[in-house]
Structure 1
Amino acid sequence: MSKTYSAADRVYDEVKELILSCELPGGELISEGEIAERCEVSRTPVREAFLRLSAEGWMRLYPKRGALIVPVGERESREVLEARLLVECHAVRRIVERPESVAALVEQLQANLDAHRAAAGDEFTRLDNDFHQLIVDAGRNSLLEDFYTSLGERRRRMTAASVHRDPAVSARIRDDHAALAEAIADGDADRFDALLQAHLSGVHDVRDVTR
């Protein structure tokens, strides 16, 4: 029994990672047999993993046909971006009120940017996530930090989808992040607000994202 559940956990982790990295893109139909062969397990742990992923909203099950990877819908995209805008802009306003916090954060953001310039694939999306999480964490509001962290998987998947859709997005993300870090270094929360709104709208192709 423990072996069955251990295999189900492994399949769950592997398939979820494929979804978050967009190696299994939204709208794709996959079968238990396909995943069982890929993960080198029987269909039983795959079925258990699929049920768990379905309960979390990552896939939709169709008996005898397979599982559909649920795409990121327009409403979900807009709501995630609006939430990000609210939390990050609030954090920056708190940060610039404490000049002693600005230098430490900018140093962390610069290190992230340095790593980002050489990154690709999953490492790129992880660093993108980390850049924005650093800003929120520096705002020193534990409830907002926890909430923003809870959006991490959705944030990562949306960024991966944008990069897969248009490889030029990677360069834009790096340039936008440099501009956002500069606004924080200058203590200019209003400029940060405008830059972040343009960044989120442009990278994720969702127009008129507002707080």
Structure 2
Amino acid sequence: MSITTNQRESAAERVYRSVKADILTGTLSGGQLLSEGEIATALGVSRTPVREGFLRLETEGWLKLYPKRGALVSAPDMHEAVHVCQSRYFVETGCIRAITAPTSDVRRRADVVAELRASLARQRDLVTAGDLAGFAAEDTHFHRTFVDAADNPILSAFYETLRERQQRMVATSIGRPGSDVPAIIDCHSALTEHLEAGDADGFATTLANHLMTVHRIDLPGVTVPGVSQ
């Protein structure tokens, strides 16, 4: 039986999504070499859709292909981590200032706080269950919640472009020896309390320390009280 174009595309899509999910959750780490044959066997497909999926992942920067050898998972460098966290800091703090402005909707802020507290509960449950990949995804959702609450579609669209890198960075950071996931949840709780109190400056300070501590980086250009440069 011949394989149709649609079937081949479907298989390639499955390869793409499966390998990408493993990269984003840290199951596949930077520097790991992938074999077309091993992926094909694991997913029950031929090498052709694996090759097509790999090409798409290389285009997006997740893999580096080496003919006849396989594909190397690209490792995020320190510059990327700094740039992502800088972008997140400026977008997230800007959105918080909009949400806490004197003219903002107090009831809407209360709704956002309730959403964040629900996310905190899910984070604790995920940690208790030992689901760090799920926690990384929920962490990304937590921060996205107050960005979307600012009701600025341009900022939300830009922030969405950071989502996958953000999720992978969190998964990588919490997978390191010595990482303190409960402390991350404590910081998320503090961020929620700052929002509830309308304390945008306190939120900015906590967020900067949070990003630098979790990802073990400095944030050039971020000047808030209590944050070293």
**The TM-score by the shorter chain falls in which range?**
over 0.9
User: What stretches of structure 1 of length at least 5 have no aligned partner?
Assistant: none
Alignment of 1:24-39 (within 5 A): 24-39=28-43
Q: Offset of 1:210 from its aligned partner?
A: 4.1
Q: Offset of 1:139 from its aligned partner?
A: 1.1
TM-score with structure 2 setting the length: 0.89
Instruction: Summarize deviations over 1:47-87 as a string: whole Å, max 9, x none.
Output: 01001100111000111111110001111110000000000
Larger radius of gyration: 2
Matched residue, 1:128: 139
The answer to whether structure 1 residue 116 and structure 2 residue 120 are counterparts is no
What is the Cα-based RMSD across aligned positions, in Å?
Answer: 1.2
Matched residue, 2:111: 104
Matched residue, 2:209: 198
Tell me how far apart the structure 2 counterparts of residues 209 and 196 of structure 1 sit (CA, whole Å): 14
Tell me how far apart the structure 1 counterparts of residues 120 and 111 of structure 2 sit (CA, whole Å): 14
User: What stretches of structure 2 of length at least 5 have no aligned partner?
Assistant: 223-229
Which one-letter code corresponds to 1:115 in the other structure? Answer: R
Tell me how far apart the structure 2 counterparts of residues 40 and 209 of structure 1 sit (CA, whole Å): 47
Tell me how far apart the structure 2 counterparts of residues 9 and 114 of structure 1 sit (CA, whole Å): 34
Matched residue, 1:73: 77
Contact 2:63 2:73 in 1 (8 A): yes
Which one-letter code corresponds to 1:81 in the other structure? Answer: C
SS in 2 for 1:134: helix
- 1:91 aligns with one of 84, 91, 95: 95
Q: More helix per residue: 1 or 2?
A: 1
Contact 1:80 1:151 in 2 (8 A): yes
Q: Offset of 1:129 from its aligned partner?
A: 0.7
TM-score with structure 1 setting the length: 0.96
The answer to whether structure 1 residue 46 and structure 2 residue 50 are counterparts is yes
Which one-letter code corresponds to 2:213 in the other structure? Answer: G
Contact 2:82 2:219 in 1 (8 A): no
Contact 1:19 1:25 in 2 (8 A): yes
Which one-letter code corresponds to 1:7 in the other structure? Answer: A
